[in-house]
Amino acid sequence: MNQTLLLRLSGPMQSWGTGSKLQIRRTDQYPSKSGVLGLLLCAMGVERDRAPAFLVPLVGLEMGVRIDRPGALDWDYHTAGAGGGIRKAEGGIKFTASTKKPETLLSRRQYLLDASFLVALRGDSEAIQMAANALRDPVWPVFLGRKCCVPTEPVFTATGEYPSLKAALEATPFYVDGFVRDGSTEELDAVIEHKPGSHPPENARLVHDVPRTLRNPSHGPRWVVRSKIHAPRTEYSRMNRTEATRARVDYASPQWKSIRKERLNFDHGLCVFCKLPAEQVHHVTYENAGHEQLEDLRSLCCLCHDACTQLEYGGDMQQHRVDPADHNQRELILRQVNLLLTSRRLGRRRAIMETSRLLSVDFLVDAPGVEGETP
């Protein structure tokens, strides 16, 4: 039986370079199949030498991409070598003739900025479940094409049964910020793989991004078709609140200390929102206060915890709180993080500036300097 796996690939930077050559490293304008399967292998913890055996069930999956936000293309001037030099083909280290110092390798690398894609993989249910389980609890961190390109929200979205890739992409809501009329749809571009065995349509394009091996990269061809699809428009859900007064939590109790440690371990010590080291454990509901379960909590860094807390107080929330792992609430939290970073009224300004440097993403607005303080 065929199943479909849906992935959300969204981040400040992405790079899917099927056409990279030597010092010019270009990116495609949507995720490549080799890049997406590489992401899955990373989540599974598969090393390059072991990859061929795992690729066999994965390359048979059909792939479609919905372009929710195309992003913008830009270049980065990149240097490599770090004083250690670049090796020559015949052995030894390259030295610059004029300075006699180890040569630095220069390259220009292209990135997609602030793009967001919905990727659908459809095929054998065992392969789909293997990939879904890996994304739910990845062995290694996953990246959007290159290690510097981190996702800003959970990659795993859902699994389900759909008659086609197009049906899966059209059934998944397109979230908008603002009022939505019932039944309204959004027209979006999609790039959908054409099934082998039948004659491709006139507008089909041949791409070479089906990975064969990773140690010495080799790729096979597939046909893809670019088309328009219509997805249901859905408003970002408003934060729930209840009239009931939330129960108090004894943060000094052994029970709380135990479940707090368990949640931090479950999230691998990382903030579920931005993947920085977590220092706080946040309630998404107080329904089980005093008897919390793992699903009632989320690990957060101090900055993201402050942003969620301010949203909760501003919305006068009681039992049900902000969930930083909920895709529908992400834009609201990001806006609050921006406000925190630009505010002069924070007592822990130095820590927040350090956090903003670590994040290094362009959706955060740099906070203005304070007189007498060097960020």
Output the six-digit token pair for 322.
């902000």
Same domain (yes/no): 210, 284: no
| Pair 135, 8: CB distance under 8 Å | no
* Same domain, residue pair 218 and 304: no
| Co-location of 160 and 29 in the same domain | yes
CATH number reported for the structural domain that contains residue 114 in this entry: 3.30.70.2660
Q: What is the pTM of this model?
A: 0.61
**Whether 198 and 343 share a structural domain:** no
pLDDT at 1 over 80: no
User: Is 36 contained in some domain?
Assistant: yes
Give yes or no for residue 19 having a pLDDT over 90: no
Confidence of residue 361 (pLDDT cuts 50, 70, 90): very low
- pLDDT average, residue stretch 231-259: 70
Of 184, 204, 235, which residue constitutes the final position of a domain? 235
Predicted local confidence at residue 139, as pLDDT: 95
Regarding whether 321 and 225 lie in a shared domain, the answer is no
Q: Are residues 153 and 51 in the same domain?
A: yes
**pLDDT at res. 372:** 40
Residue 179 pLDDT? 60
Question: Is 370 inside any structural domain?
Answer: no
Domain count, the chain: 2
Same domain, 316 and 284: yes
**Co-location of 216 and 259 in the same domain:** no
Of 159-173, 178-192, 286-300, the poorest mean pLDDT is in: 178-192
User: Between these two residues, 1 and 130, which has the higher pLDDT value?
Assistant: 130
Range of the structural domain that residue 218 is part of: 2-82+109-235
Q: Are residues 222 and 342 in the same domain?
A: no
- For the chain, the farthest-separated pair of C-alpha atoms sits apart, in whole angstroms, at 76
Task: Please tell me whether residues 296 and 211 are part of one structural domain.
Answer: no
**Same domain for 190 and 319?**
no
Q: Are 187 and 196 in contact (CB under 8 A)?
A: no
221 and 281 together in one domain: no
What percent of the chain clears pLDDT 90, i.e. is strictly above it? 52
Q: For the chain, how many helices (H) and strands (E)?
A: 8, 12
| Residue 196 forms part of a structural domain | yes
Helices 349-359 and 330-342, interaxial angle, to 10°?
Answer: 130
